[in-house]
Amino acid sequence: MSSLQPVRGTHDLLPDDSRRHRHVEQTAFEVVKRYGYGEVVTPIFEFTEVFSRTLGETSDVVTKEMYTFADRSGDSITLRPEGTAGVARAFISGGLSQNLPLKLFYRGPMFRHERPQKGRLRQFHQVGVELLGVDSPQADVEVVSMAFRMLQALGLGDTVQLEINTLGDADSRTAYRDALIAYLEPFRDALSEDSRARLDKNPMRVLDSKDEGDKRIVAGAPLIQDCLTPGARAFFDEVCAGLTALAVPFVVNPKLVRGLDYYCHTAFEFITTALGAQGTVLAGGRYDGLIGQMGGPATPGIGWAAGVERLSMLVEDVPEAARPVAIIPMGDVQAAMVLADRLRAVGLAVDLGFSGNMKKRMARANKARARFAVILGDDEAARGAVTLRDLDSGSQEEVPLAALEERLLRP
């Protein structure tokens, strides 16, 4: 029955999948904490203007992919398609300009109505960081290298490749916009409908087109490196030198761009060939004009976001869940519940079945990958003891109840 299936592009995170997700998210957080980042949690929906103003009215996300609806007050509300805009809005509405620099980490679900494929869902999860209030190339080096260290911590340092480029400063981009229009204008009639609209409003977005005809046209387009001011070139040289000093491997991809005007200087992506055509697992860049465009004070910023589903598919070594202790009550069930509560209070995972004979309970213990079985029978209880069975070796011993916690916590 279709109504009892997950909506297309969504899926359930059952315990094994959830453990992988949690490993990715927690590893990311543990790494960025070493750089002084704290966690911020923003709502999963915002007023639509938060995203339409920041992502661009002509972007595919705004025109085709956002989940937008009118609430009961008639306000236009959108489920967040990405995390940066919400963080920027929180910065403005929270009046945080006196707290700069700000180092923020976020994680959680995002929503885009696009064609589901491997590693790409309509409800997906991201981890991301935003560094606000620092305009130096050293900030770019820290943010990019931090992303690489996070991927290394997940065991993916050799699986991904960092591609990096510069988008230049405002003067560089103005010169590049003019050069790009001059190149594309003779091809106007051959461009896709979307690209013709973008040519008038935001020509750099034509470079992002997925249309095969557009791709052939832009293959010969001028590069922004040809239009860089001396200051922009020096900024990028410092970023590259910093990454080299930190032994972060990278390649310069002169065709890596961001179409929106508030982006500048560094743009970067970590890509892999292990996920098919959709190979980007982490992407980011500098967006010094974003907060000012949203109506806040002019504030430099740089950040990145990574897809948790994609990273989960790549990660091989996920820590196993803690092996529990199984309690097998052969007499007083209430005494077994009291004992389970005692063991949980000292941090042990405890599996206590609700019914079944000895054979069934032991089968359950093995299925739960229990390390030990604590057999609590009437005879043992009368002696103030339990039988402790090592489920790896098969050996067993009688242990006084008073010493059980110490015995189970022993390495």
Q: Which residues are annotated as a binding site?
A: 82-84, 112, 126, 130, 258, 262-263
Q: Are 112 and 61 in contact (CB under 8 A)?
A: yes
CA distance 30 to 355: 40
8-state DSSP, 158:
T
Q: Are 284 and 143 in contact (CB under 8 A)?
A: yes
The pair of structure tokens assigned to 324 is: 């529990």
> How would you classify the pairing of strands 264-271 and 280-286?
antiparallel
What radius of gyration, in Å, describes the C-alpha atoms of the chain? Answer: 27
Residue stretches of the annotated binding site for L-histidine: 82-84, 112, 126, 130, 258, 262-263
Residue type, 298: A
Strand partners, 362: none
How far is it between the farthest Cα atoms of the chain? Answer: 94
Q: Which CA distances in Å does 78 have to 91, 121, 201, 260?
A: 19, 17, 24, 20
**Alpha helices (H) in 202-268, listed in sequence order:** 212-218, 230-245
Q: Given the structure tokens 């920027």, which residue do they identify?
A: 88
CA distance 404 to 333: 18
Strand partners, 292: none
Q: Give which of 299, 285, 288, 53 is closest to 170, Cα–Cα.
A: 288
Q: Are 106 and 308 in contact (CB under 8 A)?
A: no
The helix/strand/coil state of 187 is helix
Neighbours of 35 (CB within 10 A): 16
Q: Are 309 and 125 in contact (CB under 8 A)?
A: yes
